Amino acid sequence: MIKKLKIDIEGMHCASCQLNITKSLKKVKNVKNADVQLLSKKAYVDYEGDIDENELRKAVEKVGNYKVKNISYEEHSDHMQHEEPSHESHDHHSGIAEKSEIKMWKKKLVWAWIITIPIAILMFSERLFGIELLPKELSTRVILILAFPVIFILGWNTIKGGFKGIIRFYFNMDLLISLGTIIAYLSGIATFLLPVKDYSGVAAMIMAIFLTGKYIEAKARGKAGEEIKKLLELGAKKATILRNNKEIIINISEIRIGDIMVVKPGEKIPTDGIVVKGESSVDESMVTGESLPVEKSKNSNVIGATINQDGILYIKATKIGKDTFLAHIIKLVEEAQGSKIPIQEFADKVTNVFVPSVLVITLLTFFGWIYFTGSIANSLAAAISVLVIACPCALGLATPTALMVGSGMGAKNGILIRKGEAIQTMKEIKYIIFDKTGTITKGKPEVKEIFSENKKHLLEIAASLEKLSQHPIARAIVEEANMKKYKSVNNFKTLRGRGIEGKIEAKKVAIGNTKLMQDLKIPLAKFTKKINEFESNGLTTMIVSENSKAIGIIGVADAVKDDSKKAIKQLNDMKLEVIMITGDNERTAKAIANEVGIKKVMANVLPEDKSKKVEELQKKGMVAFVGDGINDAPALKQSNVGIAMGTGTDIAIESGDIVLAKGSLEGVVQAINLSKATFGKIKQNLFWAFAYNTIAIPVAIAGFLHPAVAELAMALSSITVVGNANLLRRKKL
């Protein structure tokens, strides 16, 4: 039986890290597969039989400067002690860890440049301008002293990681940086003993540029794992329960199955349960994504973290802890987050061979010069030049700089790019799935149609009565009437799940569904055809009666956003297959789909099944999912590109690779255009980085590049990459 576990890893920062850890984990006994996620800094391991935690830790930590922070097991694993990470654990391994890393790199790069700038002044004033600020021997000593903390303190983790891996033949880009800086630094010391040139200043500049690149990369990666924290925060912290016929307040963790919870209007329902007493409407939008409250009465099931609106409910707890619906959603998000998003295979392959190839070339260069010239100084100079010119700073900056510029452009247009993979995969999207409520529609009910012989009178009495109700449909009717003065109402009464009634000018008025009219024995034959027509168009039908006689019907629906039709037409023109997915019935769903130009509909889909639908489509091609509710979170994470509406819930936003702050579907079109443009710049940058190395390395081998010039060329290549990325700002979306 295949079991799963998750490893939280600290210290990953490049594709080499990801590849080396993956290879090492796969060698552990009983491990069948390992999926290492660079952005989330997690490894998902499939294993069979028993697994040795120490072996897993060794496998990760032996290949570089990495640390295992936590190992958690799937629910049915024998290692139950790791099953439920605490709230604090989630906090630590989400946004806090990411912010800490960004802060660390920033601090290092600031100090590195504070120290390196004086080094550069000393070094280049003499070598480029012939101005000797200090005597040569003193200048060398000063540079060595200044360079030491840059290399061996600020850059220690890099050096440690580089050499730790090579001991076990795991090569990473840190190794090139480490070798280049250390050899260059040692050349400064060697000048006091041997006839060699001093390149210690170059060493400090290499490390400073490297640290700058790491900071940019950390910023570009964004936040990882905060969606879990957001979900946890949705739940209630306290609960009121009945004990010995007395109401007492306890912590949510103290609730037991069978406890009777008392939930007053405006309070969150503490945990999943069943109503044993009371009637109310419950806002389940944070879970279902649907805008209309759900009527609850005796024997109704309720979901923890949803909000009770206008009545007192007595609820028997049926599920607690990891068994609740909210916990289930958390699990789905975690699983979807752990799924493998395609990474550029070309970049992976290059990374695999780049470092060892450069090392071989460096050694051949050194010994080749020794053989042909016999000069240690010239041999060392050529070897250092190869290492320096080959340092992959431009390669490391190619993607994050373009991503950061693209992100800045997007932000100005309300498009927030959270995950870099979206840029890499958007161009291959074949299917784009839209959630309905709050995504295609406004998430706010509106009166769409009215049928009556006297519409003015119908709206007057309907609005006067509905003004006393807090139901969203009631508010829609009141807004439609837009009256300055309402009629007086007596004997107002809410009939749960059916409608409302009251007296206006001594006349008995009722507004509600067909069930209410049947209960009141009000004939509807005159309106049957129109009711069927309304319902076939996906409208919620409210029947208005006066003195036991139906006088008209009001059709209410969640209106389509103004730009939905235009945006979907543009997507269709892009030859994308556009699909709408919803928990609504098929009739309502198709009505909305036809209105906006969507041909394919997935209706009656449960929240937990949305991600499954995405997964099924992924077998045919790349999938983008657009949604706004908590129920959309697993699907957003499962999809190749998750696009979250910024007007939706926090968890949906945190689950998205791209967030549309304005909540406009035109933003989806703009996001696709932005992604294509940004990815185009990434490809150009990568081409330049590789072309630079392809041209520069042979020149360095030939001995035509002084290490200082090589360092300047490397810096220039990085500046070129950054400059090219900034050209993206001229792109119109």
Structure tokens at 350: 């290059």
Nearest Cα neighbor of 241 from 223, 220, 259, 221 is 259
Q: What is the 3-state secondary structure (H, E, C) of 42-67?
A: EEEEEEECCCCHHHHHHHHHCCCCCE
Give the whole-angstrom CA distance, residue 116 versus residue 206.
10
Structure tokens at 301: 């099931």
Cα distances (angstroms) measured from residue 399 to each of 216, 268, 639, 671, 718: 10, 44, 22, 18, 11
Give the whole-angstrom CA distance, residue 405 versus residue 501.
59
CB 553 within 8 A of CB 451: yes
Helix (H) or strand (E) holding 294: strand 294-296
Cα distances (angstroms) measured from residue 659 to each of 407, 501, 644: 11, 43, 5
Give the whole-angstrom CA distance, residue 84 versus residue 103.
29
Neighbours of 678 (CB within 10 A): 28
Annotation marks residue 435 as catalytic: yes
What letter represents residue 157's amino acid?
N
Angle at the Cα of 308 from the Cα atoms of 313 and 246, rounded to 5 degrees = 40
Using DSSP bridges, classify how beta strands 507-512 and 499-504 pair: parallel, antiparallel or unpaired: antiparallel
Give the whole-angstrom CA distance, residue 234 versus residue 237.
9
* Catalytic hit among 91, 174, 198, 435: 435
DSSP state of 420: T
Angle at the Cα of 705 from the Cα atoms of 704 and 709, rounded to 5 degrees = 150
Q: What is the 3-state secondary structure (H, E, C) of 214-236?
A: HHHHHHHHCCCCHHHHHHHHHCC
Neighbours of 16 (CB within 10 A): 25
Alpha carbons within 13 angstroms on the beta-carbon side of residue 183 total 22
Per-position DSSP letters for 221-287, written without gaps between them: H---SHHHHHHHHHS-SEEEEEETTEEEEEEGGG--TT-EEEE-TTPBP-S-EEEEE--EEEE-HHH
E-assigned strand segments in 573-665: 577-581, 600-602, 622-627, 641-645, 658-660
Give the whole-angstrom CA distance, residue 634 versus residue 617.
15
SS3 (DSSP) at 156: helix
CB 40 within 8 A of CB 8: no
**What are the two backbone dihedrals, phi and then psi, of residue 509, each rounded to the nearest 5 degrees?**
-115, 135
Give the whole-angstrom CA distance, residue 232 versus residue 92.
13
**Share of the chain residues as helix, strand and coil, in percent rounded to the nearest 5:** 55, 20, 25
Q: Write down how long the chain is.
A: 733
For residue 260, is it left (φ>0), alpha (ψ between -120 and 50) or beta? beta
Active-site residue list: 435
